[in-house]
Amino acid sequence: MSPSSSNPSSSGATPTTSRRAHGVTSNSTAIRVESVSKTFDTAAVLHGLSLDVRAGELLGLLGPSGSGKTTLLRIIAGLDRPDSGRIIFGGDDATRLPVQERAVGFVFQHYALFKHMTVADNIAYGLNARKRAERPAKADIKKRVGDLLDLIKLSNFGDRYPSQLSGGQRQRIALARALAVEPRVLLLDEPFGALDAQVRKDLRRWLREIHDRTGQTTIFVTHDQDEALELSDRVAVLDKGRLEQVGTPDEVQEHPASPTVLKFLGDTIEVEAIAQGGRVLVNGRDTPVPAPDGLVGPVKLYVRPWQLQFADAHEAHLEGFVRSSYRAQGRQRIEIDRPNGKLLVVEASDNARLAAGRPVGLKINNGYVFSE
C-alpha cells in the first residue's frame, strides 16, 4: 500500500507544532527483538516480530488491546519465552536467560509496593535482596535511596508507608524502586492506567523529565495515542501481533505506513476515490492530494476532520446533511450524514452551530491515499 499526503505538516492525531527535542539517544542498539513469535493455547499473539531499541531512547509500544504489546514486553523481560526468535541484549543472546539475570526494571499499572515497608525500604528492596557478595554496603544503599527520592521529588517521604501516599506518589515510588538496581532497560506497562486524567498528564511530563536526566533506555507500553506521542523518542505501532510502523512521533503522524496506523492515531473519514495521472479525484473532481507514482484506479482516501472545509456546491467533493453540532476538546465539531448512510465529523474554524437537517458541501484540502 502506498500512502500519500499533500502536506507534510499535517498530523495523524491532532494538528501539532514542530516536535520539541527530547533527550539525546545513541545509534547503538540496546535491545534487538529478532523474528519473535508467541502463541498462547491456539491464539497467535506475536507473528515474527522484529524491532531494535536504541540505547538511551524512550520507545513507546502503542496499539489497541490484544495487539501484543504486553506479551512483547514480558518476553523482553524474561517473564515469558518466545516460541521462536531471539532477544539480544547489547550483542548477547538473552533469550534463555532467567528474568533475574537480565538486569531489567519493571513498573506496572498497579503499583505492587510492599504495604508493610516504608517508602525507603520499598526503593531499597531490590538492592537488599541481592546475594551478599553482590549487595552494596548499607551506607551506599541509603545514599542511593536518598538520591532517588530527590530525583522523584519526594525527599521527605522516606519514612512513610504506601497507604499514606496518593496514587501518583505511589507510582513515583514504583519507578524509583525500578531504577534503584540500575537496570539495563526500564520496562513500563501502562504505568499510569489506574490514575485519573490530570494526574496522568502531570506524570507524563515528569517521566519525560526523569528520562532526559537519566538517559535510561526505556520501553513504555500504552494504548493511549496522546501518551505515546508526547512521551516517546520513537513509537512502535503494533496491531494483531505485527509491527505496523516504527518512527518518531512526527513520522508516524505525518507519514503513516498503513490505514491501520492512520486510523489508530486519530479520527478519519474514508472516501472512495480514483487515482489518475498523478491526481486523486473524488466524485470526478480534483483534490489537492497527489497520487503516488504508478498508482492508477480505485483508491482509498483517508481524511482527518480538520482536512475538510465547508464549500459551495460547485467546489464540494462531498455533500450531506447536518445531524448535530457540538464542542469537544475546545473545538467545534459538526456531524454530517452522507447520502451513502455513513456519518462523518468535520471540525469547524468558528463556534457557529449549524441547524440539524441543513444541507452542506465539503471540500477536501488534504488526505492520505492507500491502494485498495
User: What is the reported pLDDT for 109?
Assistant: 73
User: What is the reported pLDDT for 61?
Assistant: 97
The closest alpha carbon to 87, from 45, 36, 53, belongs to 36
Mean pLDDT throughout 219-238?
A: 94
Per DSSP, the residues of 135-152 read PPPHHHHHHHHHHHHHHT
User: What is the reported pLDDT for 206?
Assistant: 85
| pLDDT tens-digit map of 278-331 | 999 999 999 999 998 889 999 999 999 889 999 998 999 999 999 998 887 777
Give the span between the Cα atoms of 268 and 265, in whole angstroms. Answer: 9
Mean pLDDT throughout 40-46?
A: 94
pLDDT band at 64 (very low <50, low <70, confident <90, very high): very high
Q: Over 70: is that where the pLDDT of 352 sits?
A: no
- Provide the greatest CA pair distance for the chain: 81
Higher-confidence residue of 6 and 355: namely 355
Sequence-distant (≥ 6) Cβ neighbours of residue 138 within 8 angstroms? none
Give the span between the Cα atoms of 260 and 247, in whole angstroms. Answer: 15
Question: How many CB atoms are located within 10 Å of the residue 103 CB?
Answer: 14
User: What is the reported pLDDT for 198?
Assistant: 78
Tell me the pLDDT of the chain averaged across its residues.
88
For residue 93, how far is the Cα from the chain centroid? 27
User: What is the reported pLDDT for 194?
Assistant: 66
| pLDDT tens-digit map of 316-341 | 999 999 999 888 777 788 999 998 88
In the numeric block, the cell 495521472 is attached to: 277
Angle at 119 between CA 113 and CA 121, to 5 degrees: 90
The pLDDT > 70 percentage for the chain reads 91
**What are the structural domains of the chain?**
29-255 (3.40.50.300), 269-371 (2.40.50.140)
Residue type, 338: R
Contact 56, 206 (CB under 8 A): no
The closest alpha carbon to 191, from 77, 108, 123, belongs to 108
Give the span between the Cα atoms of 99 and 81, in whole angstroms. Answer: 10
* Backbone φ/ψ region at 153: left (φ over 0), alpha (ψ -120 to 50), beta: left
- Which of 1-10, 310-319, 341-350 is most confident? 310-319
pLDDT band at 5 (very low <50, low <70, confident <90, very high): low
Mean pLDDT throughout 157-162?
A: 95
Give the span between the Cα atoms of 22 and 50, in whole angstroms. Answer: 25
